[in-house]
Amino acid sequence: MSDKHLQQSAAACWADCKQAYAELMANPHLSGGRKLALHYFGVAMVLFMAQLLFGLLAGLQFIFPSFLYEILDFNVNRMVHINAMVVWMLYGFMGSVYWFLEDESGVEIVGLKWGQLAFWVLTGAVAVVVLVYLLIQIGSGSDTSLWLINEGREYIEAPRWADIGIVAVMLVFFYNVAATFAAGQWSGIAGVLTLDLVALAGLYLAGMFYVTNISVDQYWWWWVIHLWVEATWEVLVGCIMAWSLMKLLGVRRQVVQTWLYIEVALMFGSGILGLGHHYFWIGTPEYWFTIGGFFSALEPIPLVAMVVHSVYDAGVHRFKNSNHPALAWVIAHAFGNFLGAGVWGFMHTLPQINLYTHGTQWSASHGHLAFFGAYATINIAFFYLAAQQARGNVWMGGGLADGWRWKAALALLNIGVMGMTVALLIAGYEQSFIERAVEGSTWAGYFAAQNHPWFIQAMVWRMLFGLVTLTGGGLLFWDLLTIGRGEQRLAPIISEA
């Protein structure tokens, strides 16, 4: 196919997506809360594509280090790649809650105008921060640059004004949720979600002060990275998963809420102590070796068990699913969460192993599979659930028009991420052996490992599978906006058993 034909196809696809989005927003049957959720979903998908694009640029610079040197350096590409990931997932979670909030509470969202204002403030702030990332990253650090340009901390590089903005938006979000449930009906999901949002706003404060002692600073930094992302997000995903399974499979509320309570109990019992596996090499006491190593692997268990139990429960009651894409992504979540966050994480969490793997591509291997399996998959599943309901609860099962798109996107994204994961694991193994075991963590060992043929070949394979992932992401974007258009068959209404 010629470049001209590719451009014409891309333009036609983009026009089709814009028209489909306009049709969804014009739906008179959508409530204000669900229209706000669609805004969140739209920005989430744009940021997801940005994450993939900047990840490819960073991956290309591993193979060609001089590529875009002093124009768009590796540290900037990596920074945008990681922060886009964090923010698009947060957008997806918030949109999902706004989508089911009225259904779960039985009343209209309280303070919706504040929620709408918070969305535009957050989106404007994200746009400004990204532009600053791309345009202003050269010069010495100072108190001014900390507040206005870059805080200089990996994964949470956002300037201080943006940190304050994130907490303010989370507080508005908390008000919308808590006030709505207070005005309507409470449930187990409502209680867990409301309490979790207190932590979602509060734990981010741990990253908003700077300590000159590097061990103390890293200690609090990990509270944001681990407890904000891995703990509060896990519980938030549990709430979203619980509601989704009731709507997708008609699972009994008792089943999903039981596992949700176990999730909260494990988060307090193991999640906080499991944080200790990040303390191994930052100067904290040695007892964290035992505590952190033991408690780190338990977090994914309740979510996986919730899905397995729900599928079994639906089978016993002979419920039929009318949204095959959403169910497929829920199953992908159960598999990916267990494999990425559980198996792949525990594989290098014990301190005796982590001594050799820490800071290598082994960590990146775990990170790619864990974030995709634990968070991206459930967001995508909910996007499909919302798309079905926004189209008027149409049938989205077998025989769906253009059904090849969601199947291809599912296959390409999972194959792409798994391929990158294995490629990074090979690179990490090579680094652990040469850089750590043989050379003893010296600079010479670092550069020897970076230039080894195994490492370079792994980076090439990571790049190829990254292209597969990007293709799947583009298909997913297109399919989410257009799936169900023109479908006349209605799905049966599934009620809670």
Q: Cβ of 44: how many Cβ atoms within 10 Å?
A: 22
Burial grade of 134 (CB within 10 A; 0-12, 13-18, 19 or more):
middle
d(CA 379, CA 112): 22
Q: What pLDDT, on the 0 to 100 scale, is given for residue 425? A: 96
Q: What pLDDT, on the 0 to 100 scale, is given for residue 47? A: 96
Q: What pLDDT, on the 0 to 100 scale, is given for residue 467? A: 97
d(CA 200, CA 231): 9
- What DSSP letter does each residue of 158-208 carry, written as one string? --HHHHHHHHHHHHHHHHHHHHHHHHS---HHHHHHHHHHHHHHHGGGGGS
pTM score: 0.92
Enter the tokens of residue 117.
Answer: 């204002």
Q: Which residues of the chain have pLDDT under 70?
A: 1-18, 20-21, 23-26, 28, 297-300, 303, 314-319, 491, 493-497
Q: What pLDDT, on the 0 to 100 scale, is given for residue 387? A: 92
Q: What pLDDT, on the 0 to 100 scale, is given for residue 379? A: 96
Q: What pLDDT, on the 0 to 100 scale, is given for residue 11? A: 66
Which residues, in sequence order, are CB contacts of 353 under 8 Å at separation 6+?
347
Q: What pLDDT, on the 0 to 100 scale, is given for residue 228? A: 82
